[in-house]
Amino acid sequence: MSFLSFLPLQTADLAIDLGTANTVVYVKGHGIALAEPSVVTLENIDGIKRVRAVGDDAKLMMGKTPDKVETIRPLRHGVIADLEIAEEMLKHFIAKARTNVGLRMRGSPEIVICVPAGSTSVERRAIRDAASNAGARKVFLIDEAMAAAIGADLPVIEPVGSMVVDIGGGSTEVGVLSVGGMAVTLSARTGGDQMDDAIAAFVRRNHNLVIGEATAERVKKEIGAATIMPDAPQMDARIRGRDVVRGVPTEKIITQGEVVEALSESVGQIVETVRRALEITAPEIAADIIERGIVLTGGGSLLQGLELVLADETGLPVFRADDPLNCVARGAGQTLEDTAYRGVLHTA
Ligand SMILES: Nc1ncnc2c1ncn2[C@@H]1O[C@H](COP(=O)(O)OP(=O)(O)OP(=O)(O)O)[C@@H](O)[C@H]1O
Ligand SMILES: [Mg+2]
């Protein structure tokens, strides 16, 4: 008898933010039950591929795997790039989330799963199918920006306009919401991944050093900023990689000013997307946004100083939501807890 047999038997509906960088699972009645990187490690044994690790364990192996082992991120820009592996990953996370909250499954759950606004019908279908094949009885879709806004406690059902900007690993979603619907949605394929790539490219160009994705991300989180922060001490970070010229492992120092420069294009694209959304927002809703400001969610919103740059460029108040990495899953989860939100869900 497995230890799972001792867990209580229940059907628990789930809300899932299947993100490019992280998957977050919300279990109805329990809250956030799991948040792990959307990464899978595959092992090739005699031509047959087998999942070796998923999530946190798989991310630790990124960039360090031998020949017959590969780490895969099955999502790109918020949409599924590798369906089979995305399904495997989802099944693993659903089972783990249940174990984390001490539930054993009876029947199959309803699953609310988030989709980016810019996704095509084929891409949405792939996300639906992944959830169905992972065991859902019924699948509902929710726009990521809508979920983010609910998770950030914005009054999305009321006749009050709000703007949310969700900056993820693979995409930036801008949503203007009012009366339970999306008045404006814009999605740009820019986010944390692009920032990491920009840092790696900068380091290669200016320091003749090749660094991996994980190192670039660490530098971004440690000293990354959207602008030079006034009155804050300038920081720098040690980076290790391979010297382009000599081909040997080398350590160098990168300054915060350099990282700001490397990130300027990504930051500019986020600003531009927000500006375009404001331009096409109806005047009455715009009036509400002037009063209530713009709310930032998603891991990318943790970039230091991003709210200052956006406030400066738009002339509007800008706030970062609490716990921005879990906002989308928390908001999607609210639609399971509170029937008032049922109207924001769709089935295709
Ligand atoms: N302190 C930080 N500073 C800057 N970026 C950060 C910080 N913490 C996390 N991030 C970045 O946030 C991104 C992940 O955010 P999030 O989990 O919201 O994305 P996602 O939902 O998986 O992606 P998407 O919504 O595009 O599918 C990563 O690129 C990560 O490097
Ligand atoms: Mg996201």
Q: What is the pLDDT of residue 134?
A: 87
- Apex 326 CA angle, 324 and 331, nearest 5: 100
Q: What is the pLDDT of residue 117?
A: 84
305 lines ligand 1 (CB under 6 A): no
Reply yes or no on whether the pLDDT at 245 is more than 90: yes
Q: Which residue has the higher pLDDT, 270 or 2?
A: 270
Average pLDDT over residues 19-37: 97
Dist. CA 17 → ligand 2 center (Å): 7
Q: What is the pLDDT of residue 5?
A: 63
Encoded amino acid at 207, one letter: H
DSSP at 233: P
- pLDDT tens for residues 123-173? 999 999 999 998 899 999 999 999 999 999 999 999 999 999 999 999 999
What are the residue ranges spanned by the domains of the chain?
Answer: 3-38+73-146+328-344, 154-320
Q: What is the pLDDT of residue 9?
A: 61
Q: What is the pLDDT of residue 8?
A: 60
- pLDDT tens for residues 300-329? 999 999 999 999 999 999 999 999 999 999
Site to substitute for ligand 1 among 113, 220, 223, 235, most atoms within 8 A of C-beta: 220
Please list, in sequence order, all residues whose beta carbon lies within 8 angstroms of the beta carbon of residue 331, skipping any fewer than 6 positions away: 142, 146, 147, 148, 149, 150, 151, 152
Closest CA to 175 of 123, 118, 122, 126: 118
User: Which homologous superfamily is 3-38+73-146+328-344 in?
Assistant: ATPase, nucleotide binding domain (3.30.420.40)
For domain 154-320, the CATH class is alpha beta
pTM: 0.94
Q: What is the pLDDT of residue 1?
A: 53
End-to-end Cα spacing for the chain: 40
Dist. CA 171 → ligand 1 center (Å): 10
- pLDDT tens for residues 90-101? 999 999 998 898
Q: What is the mean pLDDT of the chain?
A: 94
- Apex 87 CA angle, 39 and 85, nearest 5: 50
- pLDDT tens for residues 207-238? 999 999 999 999 999 999 999 988 888 899 99
Alpha carbon of residue 29 to chain centroid: 23
Please list, in sequence order, all residues whose beta carbon lies within 8 angstroms of the beta carbon of residue 137, skipping any fewer than 6 positions away: 107, 108, 109, 110
- Apex 340 CA angle, 335 and 341, nearest 5: 35
**Backbone dihedral region for residue 305 (phi beyond 0: left; psi -120 to 50: alpha; all else: beta):** left
Dist. CA 78 → ligand 2 center (Å): 7
What distance in Å separates the CA atoms of residue 16 and residue 195, rounded to the nearest whole number? 25
